[in-house]
């Protein structure tokens, strides 16, 4: 785990723990023993710590956090390094993160190559840098900078690290050779002033002011998260307390955090995201045994908001795009829209001017579908109508080269039905982007019964290439995301039963959702749902009225239709569930008129309103969703619960510190969730989504709570 060798007057300690040189107990033991050996060897004048492979060290081994701690800790190694009478130099390339940076800070010197990155990402795992990082960084950078770096978890480039004294020198050539040259220049120099423990924290007397300012910022930016606040407390300790007392405070807050449900959820989320890329189909094909096809060029059919956003994603990743619209006018509007997005990126410093020009050069607009004949992949993003899509796919099948992949951005329609319009159903898949496509990081890739493993591998890899988090779903009505989302349905029923839409939004926002459901409905427009409901009713031969209480043997609430019919179409009309001041159209204002409309609706239908608690709101909105999640698992629509949770985090802004609805269910306890679902099923027999899932029933019947990584027989997560 740590290779030790002596090379002339240098002891080289090479961390060798692929893939990221995490500090497992074998690594800490190896480092500790290496330092002792080097001290005992009279031929050694200096010690160099370096990483093997692509990185220096990505920090503590996250997989070990849920197991009992054994062996030496990072601080034990750190103290041995710091107190060494021979200079210790860390040589960093790739990353020095978390515990990796803490090890580097224990060293007397740090050099790096120019691409190296440094940071304390612990907050993103619900933790704080617990190996004296919060006490040592302020001694180097000063309090405000340390507060910002540690609470944000952001990574610093080598230049910035030099600016703050984290790195002593950036080197150009072979890192180990440069480390030896550097070591030669410092051998014999006194080490005392280089031991951070001996340094004073600059402006320690101002710490309360820095703390108050940073706390305000942290509460605003990281609402609901406890780790950033704990980080600030220990950094304050670094200025107020003697070194060892500050270290003790850091240790005790670290222990609190590591046992918190937030950290458990965030660590789960870290692995869930990585695990989503590792897919497996029921026939055994998987990401491990399937090669993706080449995607060197793409076409996007339909240049509306979605199509334009998808084109932006492809262009940014260097994939030339042929954008197809019905006529020149619509094309021109789309091209202007796309350029606006690029200009915005340039203004924000996220894109260079040259890159914008390069992207625009790679974009070709056309009104002729034939122009897509040579592309490797087509993504259709036209109106959500099966017949229309089938017509387009039949044409594409004739025009495109036989090897081309044909994908649809549908958010609900059956991929098998779309594929049936072609002679190549094996090459047809869904690539469901979320709006706005150029911003939202999720792509829900969908396979049908005939989609080939190569096609799945290709869309999954394309998602990665364009910087998205890709999750795989089997085709079904609504796929994982839209099929599972019962929050809107239950929220409307709750309003009909007695809750105010404004209270519901507040309760869900307090839970951690970034935006309440009624605000979301106003944002996307009430016409969307109205149109879908009208289509459903038409297909059933039913005429919807204000009195409609059931549709297709399901409970129906006509309130949203009423609002739409009154011209309350959300933000676009200045009124929806909320009202909007034209001077500040993004700020929803509760509206008494809406409460009157609700009241009248209930009176007309003879509905007796009642008090509804926050607990009921959470249960009704989330447990209905969770129940559907279990049905999605039992039908193999999702391969594993963590895939569902990734979709919720990236598609619906579910708070990462709660893991996702499935992880949340595991924390509440499956028996309790199941009992409540059964209760709501008995209370609301006309809402099919309360029919309890068989898988949930089976898991909940176990006498012991079954951990989430054992819900599915064929899946076990790292946690
Ligand atoms: C800490 O240090 C606490 C201390 O302050 C105090 C303790 C007392 N451990 O992301 P990738 C795995 S907390 C175990 O796909 P990339 C990862 O799961 C730690 N495993 O690659 C994946 O496995 P698989 C603070 C880890 O090139 C594989 O490595 N540090 C760890 O896109 C490749 O990862 C962090 O939070 C780990 N620490 O990005 C750093 N890190 O192949 C977390 C990664 O089986 N890590 N793995 O799916 C990262 O940010 C990125 O992984 C990194 C590489 C930038 C390093």
pLDDT > 90 fraction of the chain, expressed in percent and rounded:
95
Asked whether residue 643 carries a pLDDT value surpassing 90, the answer given is yes
Please provide the size of the chain in residues.
Answer: 719
Q: Are strands 155-157 and 117-119 parallel, antiparallel or unpaired?
A: antiparallel
Q: Are the CB atoms for 154 and 119 separated by under 8 Å?
A: yes
* Catalytic residue of the set 14, 82, 122, 639: 122
Task: Quote the ligand 1 centre to 103 CA distance (angstroms).
Answer: 16
Q: Mean per-residue pLDDT for 545-551?
A: 94
**Tens-digit pLDDT profile for residues 664-716:** 999 999 999 999 999 999 999 999 999 999 999 999 999 899 999 999 875 55
**Residue 274 CA: which ligand 1 atom is closest?**
48
**Tens-digit pLDDT profile for residues 36-79:** 999 999 999 999 999 999 999 999 999 998 776 666 799 999 99
Report the pLDDT value the prediction gives residue 355, as an integer from 0 to 100: 97
Instruction: Find the radius of gyration of the CA atoms of the chain.
Output: 29
Pocket test for ligand 1, best of 1, 23, 58 (most atoms within 8 A of CB): 58
**Tens-digit pLDDT profile for residues 136-185:** 999 999 999 999 999 999 999 999 999 999 999 999 999 999 999 999 99
**Tens-digit pLDDT profile for residues 387-426:** 999 999 999 999 999 999 999 999 999 999 999 999 999 9
Q: Are strands 117-119 and 109-113 parallel, antiparallel or unpaired?
A: unpaired
Asked whether residue 454 carries a pLDDT value surpassing 50, the answer given is yes
Task: Quote the ligand 1 centre to 652 CA distance (angstroms).
Answer: 25
Pocket test for ligand 1, best of 28, 62, 152, 715 (most atoms within 8 A of CB): 62
Q: Which residues line ligand 1 (CB under 6 A)?
A: 19-20, 22, 55, 58-63, 74, 95, 97-99, 102, 121-122, 125, 127, 129-131, 133, 271, 274
Distance CA 403, CA 190 (A): 67
**Residue 98 CA: which ligand 1 atom is closest?**
2
Task: Quote the ligand 1 centre to 21 CA distance (angstroms).
Answer: 9
pTM: 0.94
Mean pLDDT of all residues belonging to the chain: 96
Task: Quote the ligand 1 centre to 61 CA distance (angstroms).
Answer: 8
Please identify which residue in the block is written with the tokens 């060290």: 57
Task: Quote the ligand 1 centre to 20 CA distance (angstroms).
Answer: 6
- For ligand 1, atom 50, which residue shows the shortest CA distance? 58
* Catalytic residue of the set 14, 82, 102, 250: 102
**Residue 102 CA: which ligand 1 atom is closest?**
5
**Residue 100 CA: which ligand 1 atom is closest?**
2
Task: Quote the ligand 1 centre to 232 CA distance (angstroms).
Answer: 23
Nearest Cα to Cα of residue 462 among 325, 295, 661: 295
- For ligand 1, atom 33, which residue shows the shortest CA distance? 19
Report the pLDDT value the prediction gives residue 719, as an integer from 0 to 100: 47
Q: Tell me, yes or no, if 122 is annotated catalytic.
A: yes
Report the pLDDT value the prediction gives residue 142, as an integer from 0 to 100: 97
Asked whether residue 717 carries a pLDDT value surpassing 60, the answer given is no
Distance CA 629, CA 623 (A): 9
- For ligand 1, atom 42, which residue shows the shortest CA distance? 19
Asked whether residue 236 carries a pLDDT value surpassing 50, the answer given is yes
Q: SS3 sequence, 309-360?
A: HHHHHHHHCCCCEEEECCCHHHHHHHHHHHHHHHHHHHHCCCCCHHHHHHHH
**Tens-digit pLDDT profile for residues 262-299:** 999 999 999 999 999 999 999 999 999 999 999 999 99
- For ligand 1, atom 36, which residue shows the shortest CA distance? 121
Distance CA 207, CA 285 (A): 57
**DSSP of 559-606:** HHHHHHHTT--BGGGTBSSSEEETTEEEEEE--HHHHHHHHHHHHHHT
**Tens-digit pLDDT profile for residues 500-540:** 999 999 999 999 999 999 999 999 899 988 988 998 899 89
Is 592 exposed, middle or buried, given 0-12, 13-18 or 19+ CB atoms closer than 10 A?
exposed
Pocket test for ligand 1, best of 1, 15, 19, 105 (most atoms within 8 A of CB): 19
Distance CA 525, CA 368 (A): 32
Task: Quote the ligand 1 centre to 225 CA distance (angstroms).
Answer: 21
Q: Are the CB atoms for 109 and 168 separated by under 8 Å?
A: yes
Q: Mean per-residue pLDDT for 593-615?
A: 97
Q: Tell me, yes or no, if 178 is annotated catalytic.
A: no
Report the pLDDT value the prediction gives residue 93, as an integer from 0 to 100: 95
**Residue 62 CA: which ligand 1 atom is closest?**
9
State whether ipTM is beyond 0.85: yes
Task: Quote the ligand 1 centre to 157 CA distance (angstroms).
Answer: 18
Report the pLDDT value the prediction gives residue 714, as an integer from 0 to 100: 54
**Residue 129 CA: which ligand 1 atom is closest?**
5
- For ligand 1, atom 11, which residue shows the shortest CA distance? 274
């Amino acid at each position: 785990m740590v290779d030790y060798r002596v090379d002339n007057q240098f002891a080289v300690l090479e961390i060798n723990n692929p893939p990221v040189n995490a500090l497992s107990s074998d690594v800490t033991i190896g480092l500790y023993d290496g330092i002792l050996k080097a001290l005992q060897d009279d031929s050694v004048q200096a010690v160099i710590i370096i990483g093997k492979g692509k990185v220096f060290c990505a920090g503590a081994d996250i997989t070990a956090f849920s197991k009992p701690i054994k062996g030496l800790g990072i601080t034990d190694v750190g103290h041995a390094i710091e107190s060494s009478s021979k200079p210790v130099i860390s040589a960093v390339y790739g990353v020095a993160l978390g515990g990796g940076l803490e090890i580097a800070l224990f060293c007397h010197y740090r050099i790096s190559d120019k691409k190296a990155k440094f940071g304390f990402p612990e907050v993103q795992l619900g933790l704080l840098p617990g190996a004296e990082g919060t006490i040592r960084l302020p001694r180097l950078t000063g309090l405000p900078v340390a507060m910002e770096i540690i609470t944000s978890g952001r990574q610093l480039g080598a230049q910035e690290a030099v600016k703050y004294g984290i790195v002593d020198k950036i080197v150009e050539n072979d890192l180990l050779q440069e480390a030896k040259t550097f070591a030669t220049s410092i051998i014999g120099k006194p080490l005392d002033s280089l031991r951070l423990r001996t340094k004073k924290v600059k402006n320690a007397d101002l710490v309360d002011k820095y703390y108050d300012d940073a706390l305000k910022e942290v509460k605003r930016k990281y609402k609901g998260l406890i780790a950033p606040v704990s980080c600030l407390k220990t950094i304050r300790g670094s200025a107020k307390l003697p070194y060892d007392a500050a270290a003790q405070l850091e240790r005790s807050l670290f222990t609190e955090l590591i046992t918190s449900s937030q950290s458990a959820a965030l660590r789960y989320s870290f692995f869930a995201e990585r695990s989503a890329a590792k897919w497996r189909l029921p026939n055994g094909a998987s990401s491990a045994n399937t090669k993706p096809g080449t995607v060197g060029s793409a076409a996007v059919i339909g240049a509306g908001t979605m199509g334009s956003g998808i084109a932006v994603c492809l262009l940014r990743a260097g994939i030339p795009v042929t954008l197809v619209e019905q006529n020149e006018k619509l094309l021109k509007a789309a091209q202007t829209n796309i350029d606006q997005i690029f200009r915005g990126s340039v203004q924000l410093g996220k894109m260079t001017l040259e890159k914008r020009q390069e992207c625009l050069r790679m974009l070709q607009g056309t009104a002729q579908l034939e122009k897509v004949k040579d592309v490797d992949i087509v993504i259709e993003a036209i109106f959500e109508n099966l017949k229309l899509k089938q017509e387009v796919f039949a044409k594409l099948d004739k025009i495109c080269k036989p090897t081309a992949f044909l994908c649809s951005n549908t958010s609900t329609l059956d991929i098998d039905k779309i594929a049936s319009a072609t002679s190549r159903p094996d090459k047809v898949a869904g690539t469901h982007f979320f709006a706005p496509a150029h911003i939202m990081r999720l792509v829900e890739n969908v396979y049908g019964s005939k989609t080939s493993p190569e096609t799945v591998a290709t869309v999954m890899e394309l998602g990665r290439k364009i910087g998205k988090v890709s999750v795989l779903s089997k085709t079904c009505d609504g796929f994982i995301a839209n099929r599972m989302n019962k929050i809107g349905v239950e929220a409307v029923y709750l309003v009909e039963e007695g809750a105010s839409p404004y209270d519901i939004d507040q309760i869900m926002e307090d839970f951690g959702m970034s935006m309440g459901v009624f605000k979301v409905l106003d944002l996307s427009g009430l016409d969307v749902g109205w149109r879908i409901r009208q289509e459903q009713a038409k297909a059933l031969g039913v005429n919807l009225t204000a009195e409609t209480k059931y549709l297709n043997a399901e409970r129906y609430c006509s309130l949203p239709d009423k609002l739409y019919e009154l011209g309350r179409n959300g933000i676009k009309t200045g009124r929806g569930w909320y009202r909007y001041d034209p001077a500040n159209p993004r700020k929803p204002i509760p509206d008494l008129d809406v409460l009157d409309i609700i009241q009248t609706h209930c009176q007309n239908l003879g509905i007796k309103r009642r008090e509804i608690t926050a607990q009921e709101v959470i249960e009704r909105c989330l447990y209905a969703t969770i129940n559907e999640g279990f049905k999605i698992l039992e039908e193999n629509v999702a391969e594993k619960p963590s895939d569902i949770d990734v979709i919720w985090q990236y598609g619906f802004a579910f708070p990462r510190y709660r893991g996702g609805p499935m992880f949340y269910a595991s924390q509440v306890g499956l028996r309790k969730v199941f009992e409540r679902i059964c209760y709501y099923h008995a209370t609301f027999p006309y809402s099919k989504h309360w029919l309890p899932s068989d898988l949930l029933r089976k898991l909940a019947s176990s006498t012991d709570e079954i951990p989430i990584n054992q819900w599915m027989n064929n899946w076990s997560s790292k946690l």
